[in-house]
Structure 1
Amino acid sequence: MIEMKIAGIALDAVSRSPIVILKDDAERRALPIYIAHEQARAIINALENHVPPRPLTHDLLVNLLEAWDITLERVVIHSLQDNTFFAVLTVRQGDVKKDIDARPSDAMAIALRTGSPIWVSEEVILDASLPVDQEADEAEQQAFRDFVANLRPEDFKQYDRSSHRDS
């Protein structure tokens, strides 16, 4: 799992559909997720710390969590199937912990309001993320290729299994 942050909302140049952009801490990978206009507005409101005069849907859900002493531990975007992302809210109330199915856009809107982390599975990152820093990725790949090319058999020490037993 890789923790990611919401970098912002963009608009698709052709369809004008909103896209939430997630980035990892090193800002090396970006994960674009198309969302509906309503969820885009909810995410933008949270990013801008806008408090509506009356609670909107995501605010209402956060109020319910707080009223029932339920903590949103994290959001996990765990899979991508047929161009649709899937997420869960991991919530805790006392000793009881549950994963609740959610659309990623709703999950992110709630996570922003509660200050909860957003995690993405490595599989989703591999399938759908875009490199942000192509030069750093290429440099890292070249360094690994150089390392492997310079390995010698004597760099590997013989492992003596008889001296390492499970007790």
Structure 2
Amino acid sequence: MIEMKVAGIALDAVTRSPIVLLKDSTDRRALPIYIGQEQAKAIIAALEGQKAPRPLTHDLISLIFEAWSLSLSKIIIHSLQDNTFYAVLCLQQGEVKKEIDCRPSDAIALALRTDSPIWVMEEVLADASIPVDREADEEERQAFKEFVSNLSPEDLIKRSGFSENTDS
């Protein structure tokens, strides 16, 4: 799993649909997730620290967590099926842990309100992320190619910790 942060909300140029953009800690990969208008408003409000005069849905849920001593330890965006992302809320109350199915947009809105980490499974990132820093990716690829091209079988044996003499 990779921990991600909310980079912001964007609008699709064609459909004008909101997209929440998650980025990894290196700012090398981004995960765009299409969301609804209301969830976009909830995420923006949390990012900007806006407080509604009365609790809105995500505020209310976080207040319920607090009242019942539930902590949102993290959210996990765990799969992508038919262009739909799936997430869970990982809740804890004392020693009891529960995972609750949730839309990623709602999970993100709650994570922002409770200062909880956002995790994404590697498979989801492999399927749906977009590169952000192509130059750094290419440099890394070239460095790896150089490393591999200069590697001899003897080097591999030395690095593995195995000895050529395997007398038993």
Residue 123 (structure 1) aligned with residue 123 (structure 2): yes
Per-residue CA shift, 1:30-73, capped at 9, x if unaligned? 10000000000000000010010100000000000000000000
Residue matched to 1:91: 91
Residue 34 (structure 1) aligned with residue 34 (structure 2): yes
Deviation at 1:153, TM superposition (A): 1.3
Q: What amino acid maps onto 1:41 in structure 2?
A: K
Q: Normalized against structure 1, the TM-score is what?
A: 0.94
Deviation at 1:91, TM superposition (A): 0.5
2:125 alignment partner, SS class:
helix
Q: What amino acid maps onto 2:76 in structure 1?
A: V
Distance in 1 (CA, whole Å) between partners of 2:129 and 2:29 is 6
Residue matched to 2:162: 159
Residue matched to 2:142: 142
Per-residue CA shift, 1:67-116, capped at 9, x if unaligned? 00000000000000000000000000000001110000000000000000
Distance in 1 (CA, whole Å) between partners of 2:65 and 2:96 is 14
Residue 101 (structure 1) aligned with residue 101 (structure 2): yes
* 1:16-95 matched pairs, under 5 angstroms: 16-95=16-95
2:50 alignment partner, SS class:
coil
Number of paired residues?
161
1:31 alignment partner, SS class:
strand
Q: What amino acid maps onto 2:122 in structure 1?
A: E
1:60 alignment partner, SS class:
helix
Distance in 2 (CA, whole Å) between partners of 1:143 and 1:99 is 41
1:98 alignment partner, SS class:
strand
Q: What amino acid maps onto 2:43 in structure 1?
A: I
Q: Normalized against structure 2, the TM-score is what?
A: 0.94
Distance in 1 (CA, whole Å) between partners of 2:64 and 2:117 is 19
CA RMSD of aligned residues (A): 1.1
Distance in 1 (CA, whole Å) between partners of 2:39 and 2:50 is 14
Deviation at 1:150, TM superposition (A): 0.8
1:6 alignment partner, SS class:
strand
Structure 1: which 4+ aligned runs deviate by more than 2 Å?
none
Deviation at 1:159, TM superposition (A): 1.7
